[in-house]
Structure 1
Amino acid sequence: MNHESPKKRGRPRKTVDGLHGQTDRFFQQFAKLPFSEKEEMVLNGITVKYLADLITFLRMDGALMERLLLLDSGELAPMKEEDKFGPVVSDRIMAILELYSYGVDSMGEFELFNEWMKRPSEKFVFHRPIDVINTHPGLLEVRQALHEIRTGYY
């Protein structure tokens, strides 16, 4: 007689262990930051260490982040952890953070949002959302798509 449990089908249950849970918590905490603290981060400059941690949380490689921040290829490599970006690059980092925070909030968890960002979409002329956020208009278009998902019009 076989006493094995039946196999479960469907999407695995959401967990809060490891990096997955840390990422969801990171975005929940970020969403709670007051405007003044976000503004201060941009004006004082975001550190390379903060960006490196963000790259890890987003499961992104440095080359893609350089492209999203409109930096030259290899520009991040020689920087030290304590170095700070100027206000323009810091503002760009904050815009990406805001978008990801909104996306995680809209879809309920980071993994779902991250999958969506990496899937080509007809809405973006069959480009992936991650590939169009390197410009301000592209970032706004992705945010609009998230709003449509959130309100049921996508």
Structure 2
Amino acid sequence: MPTDLPSRYKSPRSRGATALRTAVVGLRLRLLGWRIEKALEDRDHARLLRLTAAWDDLRRDRAADPASDPSRARDRRWDMACERVRRAVPKIEREERRLAWVVERMGRARAARDERAYERSCLLGRAAQERLIQLWGQI
């Protein structure tokens, strides 16, 4: 016959594991935040989009964990920044494709010695570059 009554409290080991898991998730979020800032500095939109998706997944997992602390203002700020990234990156990709097309067009115009087409391509390239700068500024 057992003499011990079942405990209704969590064991200290399980509380420690939960605290450790929460600390690891917080550390991973900080590391992802640093990598996102680095991708912004490098203007690497593909890596930026991948990192923001990882950030979003990790935040969703953290929010689903009942032991995690409620979201803070800093996390909400990062979530809003990730949403801006998701909206801006397709536009950035489009402008970069447009710039590549303009460079090819300039090469063809130069080979054909067509100054008018070359100047028009330069104007298109400048406009695309200005839009790119504006889009990166929105992020």
TM-score (norm 1): 0.25
TM-score (norm 2): 0.27
Larger Rg: 2
**Which protein has the bigger helix share?**
2
